[in-house]
Chain A
Amino acid sequence: MSALYELRGIEAAYEKGENVLHVPQLDIARGEILGLAGHNGSGKSTLLKLLGFLLEARAGSLTFDGALVDRAALRSGHLLRRKAVLLGQETCLLKRSVAANVAYGLKLRGLPAPKELLARALGLVGLDYAQYGARPWRQLSGGEARRVALAARLALDPLALLLDEPTSGLDRASTEHVKRAVLGARENHGATLVIVSHDLTWLSSCADRVLTLDEGRIVNGL
């Protein structure tokens, strides 16, 4: 079976700046959990945005799920982003209840969001629906908000789940919940995961392989 992502000769940058990402070749297998490590500014988040179709490469080719992602495909980028869902580095919740936040991605897809599904997604990150479901976004701690944001992505059962520092600001118990949720997403739904983290111990315990980036280039782990 072909890889879910195939990157060839990728050069990427933000707006008019210099190229900050150079990836001659990278394949990410279906169902793989890939870890990305490296210093701040090494290009990890840029690579994640590229994989999440929030950033267009300046050069090179990217194939996703067997189809070339060209400019025409990116014009309907939301269709790609519905298959590859990104959790950004900083948590941003909508000004709604926890349940509404978890249901939001489903709503955007025109899918039903039954209570059982929302409760399951929240349960995966260690939050009880009865306790948290009706709670407004502003009454959550930073760690709780982070977990709600992750639950909102897990509820979507995407083909690829791209997580940027999913455990930042979380205590040990919550970190374990996230790990179980990550592994569960692959085991139960066959999801492919790409995870950026500074916590190498945690990352190694989840990922099948860990790549290290430096100055926008993959320097080891290939």
Chain B
Amino acid sequence: MDYFSEGLAKAVQLLLSLDPETFSAVWATAEVTALALAGSLIMGLPLGFALGHFRFPGRRAVRLFMDWMLSLPTVVIGLIVYALFTTRGPLGEWGFLFTIPGMAVGLTLLGLPIILTMTATAVESTDVRLTETLLSLGADRTQLLFATLSEARFAMALASASAFGRIVSEVGIAMMVGGNIKWQTRTITTAIALETGRGEFATGIALGIVLMLVALVVNLFVALLRRRAGS
């Protein structure tokens, strides 16, 4: 147990002394998570709304595809994005491999199906009488869309929180596409994997504490939303 308590004490010291290497990983995580979450939300919210609200041919197939994307192993996503961005790949000239934007693309593919399917479900499960109520109150088509979206706001915020939790804690894509480069693409999760492998528990624990605090804040936020949604 000594090594654990020593590791914990050193971890606290690293955090309190704002250790540059530790905080470089924290900053890289914040950067890549923000980019990936923004990408997932910008595409996922309108597409999820369309999937939940409109009835069109092939809708079920799209839904099945998105459900399948949800269960896709992250290493497979990492492999696909790596293949796209490698110098011999179709998007190799973009120079995205082993960069924060490249990792963000991979993590967006992870977050997008979560936002999209949860938003579609939220819109589908809004009260079936809602459309009739809004129309009878005089809503035009645009107002109907925005009002329905607004009624599903708590569920969509939950979707965002879920996607955030998944993106921030991901390791496979970050490792494969980011390359775990110190001071550049090393995130909290890839750093923990590396430091633990090297027996450097203190750094691993310090970063683990940061990740757990983030998870706690996200969970508190989700609990608050659930209460507000009355669910």
Task: Indicate, yes or no, whether A interacts with B.
Answer: yes
Cα(A82)–Cα(B139), bound, Å: 8
Question: B135, A81: Cβ atoms under 8 Å?
Answer: yes
How near does chain A come to B68, taking the closest CB pair, in angstroms? 31
Question: B137, A104: Cβ atoms under 8 Å?
Answer: yes
CB 8 Å contact bits of B137-148 with A (1 = contact, 0 = none): 111110100010
Cα(A57)–Cα(B130), bound, Å: 22
A156 within 8 A of B: yes
How near does chain B come to A97, taking the closest CB pair, in angstroms? 13
Question: A105, B138: Cβ atoms under 8 Å?
Answer: yes
B230 within 8 A of A: yes
CB 8 Å contact bits of B217-231 with A (1 = contact, 0 = none): 000000000000110
Residues of A within 8 A of B133 (CB): 88, 92, 94
CB 8 Å contact bits of A96-114 with B (1 = contact, 0 = none): 0000000011001100000
A170 within 8 A of B: no
Residue on A nearest B138 in the bound complex, by CB: A82
B interface, size bucket:
10 to 19
Cα(A86)–Cα(B132), bound, Å: 9
Given A92-B133, A94-B151, A85-B230 contact (CB < 8 Å): no
Question: A54, B138: Cβ atoms under 8 Å?
Answer: no
Given A94-B151, A95-B151, A138-B230, A108-B138 contact (CB < 8 Å): yes
Cα(A86)–Cα(B229), bound, Å: 27
Cα(A156)–Cα(B129), bound, Å: 20
A115 within 8 A of B: no
B136 within 8 A of A: yes
Residues of A within 8 A of B127 (CB): 92
Cα(A108)–Cα(B147), bound, Å: 10
Residue of A77, A88, A109 near B129 (CB, 8 A) is A88
Cα(A136)–Cα(B154), bound, Å: 15
Given A92-B127, A92-B129, A138-B230, A156-B136 contact (CB < 8 Å): no
Residue on B nearest A78 in the bound complex, by CB: B140
Residues of A within 8 A of B140 (CB): 78, 108
A90 within 8 A of B: yes
Question: A88, B136: Cβ atoms under 8 Å?
Answer: yes
Cα(A156)–Cα(B140), bound, Å: 16
Residues of A within 8 A of B136 (CB): 52, 54, 81, 85-88
Q: A54-B135, A81-B135, A108-B137 are in contact. List 10 more A-B contacts (CB 8 A).
A: A54-B136, A78-B138, A78-B143, A82-B138, A94-B147, A95-B154, A108-B139, A108-B140, A108-B143, A156-B138
Q: List 10 A-B contacts (CB under 8 A).
A: A78-B141, A81-B137, A81-B138, A86-B136, A92-B129, A92-B130, A95-B229, A95-B230, A108-B139, A156-B137
Nearest 6 pairs of A and B residues by beta carbon: A92-B129, A82-B138, A86-B136, A105-B137, A78-B140, A92-B133
